[in-house]
Amino acid sequence: MKKVILPTLLFLMALSACNKNINTYALIETDYGNIKVLLYDDTPLHQANFVKLANEGFYDGLLFHRIIKGFMMQGGDPDSRDADPDRRLGSGGPGYQIPAEFGHLHYKGALAAARNGNPEKKSSGSQFYIVQGRPLQEAGLDNLERQKNITLNEAQRTKYLEVGGTPQLDMDYTVFGEVVEGMDVVDKICNMPTKPGDRPVEDVKMKVSIVN
């Protein structure tokens, strides 16, 4: 399958390069409101893959199957479509992974790719999450820098302190976009009650389309 997927992604990247002055947005529709996200041009593999899947209708009817208040909401598992209420979800995908494209950080509203453990930190081919995050303090950022052996610049620290996020995920998961409209919807969904395993008590279905 990789022999088919990679040329397709490279073709989509070439098309995107021809329109590099035009931002790429996706609309994630739910029964609780809509979320509009900007897809970053400097994560071209993730952008092209998300656009491809959205245009194919891959995400339509899938669930946000994992929600943790103060952390994030995750979806994109194809096994979640019409899933039994007691089914544990989170291991499904399209049969391929995406190479990591690190650089952006996990501020509140970040759109990032989920992944299973692998040394190269390759992303799931379809599962993604949106960061809700929590407010951060200077001491917490200091500890995190020591633990992860990273250094945040002044602008990055200021943004984390002002808007919050999940910096513990930085450089371990690829951030490939951000919420530009509908952060209130993210907060609403992230605050929903969940069952054991972090699946919402009420299903949260999505429909994803590429928009201007």
The 3-state secondary structure of 33-73 reads EEEEEEECCCCHHHHHHHHHHHHHCCCCCCEEEEEECCCEE
Over residues 144-196, the pLDDT tens digits come to 999 999 999 999 999 999 999 999 999 999 999 999 999 999 999 999 999 99
Is-contact 210 54, C-beta < 8 A? yes
Residue 111 has pLDDT above 80, yes or no: yes
Q: What percent of the chain shows pLDDT beyond 70?
A: 90
| Residue 84 C-beta-side C-alpha neighbours within 13 Å | 3
Whether the pTM exceeds 0.85: the reply is: yes
**Stated length of the chain:** 212
Residue 1 has pLDDT above 50, yes or no: no
Residue 10 has pLDDT above 80, yes or no: no
Over residues 15-42, the pLDDT tens digits come to 555 555 689 999 999 999 999 999 999 9
Per-chain mean pLDDT for the chain: 92
Per-domain boundaries in the chain? 2-211
Amino acid (1-letter code) at residue 38: L
**Which structure tokens are listed for 143?**
């500890």
DSSP state of 172: T
Q: In the prediction, which pLDDT does 117 show?
A: 86
Q: In the CATH hierarchy, which top-level class contains the domain 2-211?
A: mainly beta
- The number of angstroms, rounded, from the C-alpha of 86 to the middle of its chain's C-alpha atoms is 24
Is-contact 12 33, C-beta < 8 A? no
